[in-house]
Amino acid sequence: METLKALKEALEREREAYLKAEKRLEETIAERTAELSRTATRLSNLISNMQEAVLVEDENRMIVMVNERFCSMFGIPASPELLIGMDCSGSAEQSKHLFRDPEGFVSGIISLLARRQKVIGEILKLADGRIFSRDYLPIVIEETYKGHFWKYTDITSRSRYEEALVRSEEKYRLLIENMNLGLLEVDLVGRIIYANQSFCEMSGYSREEMYGRPAEDLFTIPENREFVVQKNESRTRGISDAYELEITNKKGSKKWWLISGAPLFNHEGVQVGSTGIHLDITGQKQLEFTLREAKQMAEDTAKVKEVFLANMSHEIRTPMNAILGLGKQLLKTELSPYQQSFLESINTAADNLLVVINDILDFSKIESGKLDLEAIAFSLPDLLVQISNMLTSKAHEKGLEFSMHADEAVAPFLVGDPYRINQILLNLLSNSIKFTEKGSISLECRVEESLGDQQTIELIVTDTGIGIDKKYQKKIFQKFSQESINVARKYGGTGLGMAITKQLVDLMDGKITIDSNKNKGTRICVSMTFPVGSQVEKPEKPQHLIHQDKLKGKKILLVEDNKLNRLVASTILSHFGMQVTEAVNGEVAVSILRKELFDLVLMDMQMPVMDGISATIMIRKEISTTLPVIALTAHALKSEQSRCLEAGMDDFISKPFEEENLLNTIIKYVL
């Protein structure tokens, strides 16, 4: 009985254990079922919301899962829920009309199902122009085929973009290949990785000959190697620039390339080398060299011209100084009326010759850009009075009336170059007197406009002379221009006066106009704008010989190689009681200065043996740094005057000099 009871208890325990195990199993199955349900729900929601079309079939081709996108892409008029459980074996035949190759679409599906191998990114082209990408995935569980997964993606936009990109790349590839610009790409160490056809033609090398070789070894000439290395290094630092480079091609010919270089990056933005666009500019460089040589030749010619002008100035002004100086000294002596008449004619002719010389030199200075304008305060009414006084007598000698009127609104002082304004008006008025046989000449000054601290002035010269032909008025400002041979023979002149006048007006930013008719007179108007100045800005005039009595006894060393010029200067200086010692060149002057003391040296610039510049430099270095040295220069160019001062001279006097100017300059340094 006990055994039976024990067996019964054991069976009860086994039964309870079985029931507990069964309950745990049911709970586990329920949990796993719920988890699978949740997973299925998540998967279903995921597939439903995918932008790609998804279809899942079992091994019998029954639909297990499908999303709305699939129905939309294939035009299926049913919801995904209604399709679940349907047989899909005939779907290919039903949908093949959508595709450009219907039979190929059907056979492709049959082939995939038969092979049961994964296929990703298969391209399908539809009849309406759309393009799909299809993925096929067989579903295998524990080595047993359980169905398959289809995914269709509409890649129409992407495909068209890629096609456009390919076409664009192809277009630019062909463009790069065929353009006249050479394209070269090198890696980070300078080895060639690509060259277009134009570069091959420019360099003379084929692609096969260039690829893998350092570019600097193929083309760079030795003197440019370091420069090219620096450029390559700058590319590694991300620097882009353009430069010109002389190279040698395969034939050894030297060429010039214009290179625009930049760093080269891959699709990930990593620098992999550098790229350069090359343009053959050999022709342009040869033209540049030719132009440079021509420019140098022009500059050399200009220098030769300047030297010629300086020499001409010296050679002409030196005898002119003697003629004018001696003529004026001779006027101080007692002469018969007959001699006085001859001497006055000589002096007048010399003055006229000096005007011609000055015209030529002035025009040359203007053309070479060496004419500097002053900017000083001056009284325009006073200037007009001075000009009127100078020319009234000349007009009266010809029986002409001369009048001058200045507008009272003209500012008391203007800022400009009174000397050049004087030159302009003298040119215009002298022409009027020369070309007017009867009648009158007038000079009018009026204010055209007053604006703030500026005034625009009109200077008008009117005459009743022979007038100017309308055709000739167009070229009246050309150099060496005169209306006719008869006019030139009758009235003389260089034909430079109006050309100089026009260029002086242009230099002062003014304008000049002419209104004239043949045999009816001429009206010329010059308009210029000046800043308004003040008395304070007006330069002081030099004192006029107020200390001339104190010049007596002053020792002057006159250094001049020309005998007549020594005679002129000595005559003037001796007349005022100065003791004059003469030296015929700089070497003699230096020798004299080593032995004697002088109050001042008058030094000619251009002399044989030793010129004035060399002599002055030696004086400053070896004899005295304070002894006044005044240059007597026949050079009219400002550059020559600057040389005087740079050599250590204190001042300069231009030949032919006026007695008053010579004495005032000496007074400035010896008293």
Contact residues for 625 (Cβ-Cβ < 8 A; gap 6+): 648
Give me the CATH number covering residue 633: 3.40.50.2300
Counting other chains too, the contacts that 268-276 makes at CB distance below 8 Å and 24 or more residues apart are 271/188, 271/236, 271/238, 272/187, 272/188, 273/185, 273/186, 273/187, 273/188, 273/193, 273/235, 274/185, 274/186, 274/232, 274/235, 274/236, 275/183, 275/184, 275/185, 275/186, 276/183, 276/184, 276/185, 276/186
Q: In whole angstroms, give the CA distance from residue 19 to residue 25.
A: 10
pLDDT, residue 494, reads: 46
* pLDDT per residue as tens digits for the range 249-270: 888 888 998 888 889 888 788 8
Q: Is residue 359's pLDDT more than 90?
A: no
Q: Are residues 400 and 495 in the same domain?
A: yes
More confident residue, 18 or 135: 135
Residues 63 and 42 placed together within one structural domain of the fold? no
Domain match, 482 and 527 both: yes
Cα 325 to the chain's mean position, in Å?
Answer: 52
DSSP secondary structure of 555-581? EEEEE-S-HHHHHHHHHHHHHTT-EEE
For residue 489, give the CATH number of its domain.
Answer: 3.30.565.10
Predicted local distance difference test score (pLDDT) of residue 314: 61
| Pairs from 563-568 (Cβ < 8 Å, separation ≥ 24) | 564/319, 564/321, 564/322, 564/326, 565/318, 565/321, 565/322, 565/325, 565/604, 565/632, 565/655, 567/322, 567/326, 568/321, 568/322, 568/325, 568/326, 568/329
pLDDT band, residue 520 (cuts 50/70/90): confident
For the ranges 41-55, 526-540, 656-670, the lowest mean pLDDT is seen at 41-55
Residue 524 lies in a domain: yes
Q: Look up residue 595 and give its DSSP letter.
A: T
Tell me if 372 is assigned to some domain. Answer: no
Q: Is residue 60, in this structure, part of any structural domain at all?
A: yes
Question: For 534-581, what is each residue's pLDDT tens digit?
Answer: 765 555 555 545 567 788 899 999 999 888 888 888 888 888 899 999
Q: Is 219 exposed, middle or buried (0-12, 13-18, 19+ CB in 10 A)?
A: buried
End residue of a domain, out of 488, 516, 537: 537
**How do residues 497-513 score in pLDDT, each as one tens digit?**
777 788 888 888 999 98
Calpha distance 523→468 (Å, rounded): 10
- Using one digit for the tens of pLDDT, what is the confidence trace for 342-353? 777 676 666 656
The SS3 of residue 625 is coil
Q: Which of 323, 347, 619 is nearest to 631 (CA)?
A: 619
What is the residue-averaged pLDDT of the chain? 81
What's the distance, CA 575 to chain centroid?
Answer: 61
Question: Among 511, 537, 563, which residue terminates a domain?
Answer: 537
Six-digit token string for 344: 């006055």
Question: Would residue 581 count as lying in a domain?
Answer: yes
Residue 486 lies in a domain: yes
Q: Is the pLDDT of residue 363 over 60?
A: no
Q: Verify that 646 and 628 share a domain, yes or no.
A: yes
620 CB-near residues (< 8 Å, 6+ apart): 647, 648
The predicted structure's pLDDT at residue 486: 46
Please state the separation of Cα 307 from the chain's center in Å.
Answer: 32
Q: How confident is the model at residue 485 (pLDDT cuts 50, 70, 90)?
A: very low
3-state SS assignment for residue 519: coil
Q: Rounded to an integer, what distance in angstroms lies between the CA atom of residue 39 and that of residue 41?
A: 5
* pLDDT, tens digit (0-9, with 9 covering 90-100), for 192-239: 998 888 888 888 999 898 898 988 888 888 888 888 888 888 888 888
Average pLDDT over residues 114-143: 89
- Verify that 507 and 640 share a domain, yes or no: no
Contact between 627 and 598 under an 8 Å Cβ cutoff? The reply is yes
- The pLDDT score that the predictor gives to residue 311 is 64
Domains: count for the chain: 5
The answer to whether residue 254 is domain-embedded is: yes
Domain-embedded: residue 645: yes
Check whether residue 54 and residue 40 sit in a common domain. Answer: no
Select the more confidently predicted residue: 632 or 351.
632
Q: Do 9 and 81 fall into the same domain?
A: no
- What is the model's pTM? 0.43
440-451 and 414-416 beta bridge pairing = unpaired
Assess whether 530 and 516 both reside in one domain: yes
* pLDDT > 70? residue 422: yes
- Using 50, 70 and 90 to split pLDDT, how confident is the model at 315? low
CATH number at residue 94: 3.30.450.20
- Considering the domain architecture, whether residues 523 and 551 belong to the same structural domain is answered as no
Count the alpha carbons within 13 Å of 117 in the hemisphere toward its beta carbon: 4
Per the model's pLDDT, the better-predicted residue between 150 and 334 turns out to be 150
Domain end, chosen from 234, 249, 280, is at: 280
- Domain of 310, in residue numbers: 286-341+543-671
Same domain for 446 and 524? yes
Task: Identify whether 356 is part of a domain.
Answer: no
Res 493 pLDDT > 60: no
- 393/533 same-domain check: yes
Q: What share of the chain is helix, strand, coil (3-state, %, to 5)?
A: 50, 25, 25
User: Do 509 and 397 lie in a common domain?
Assistant: yes
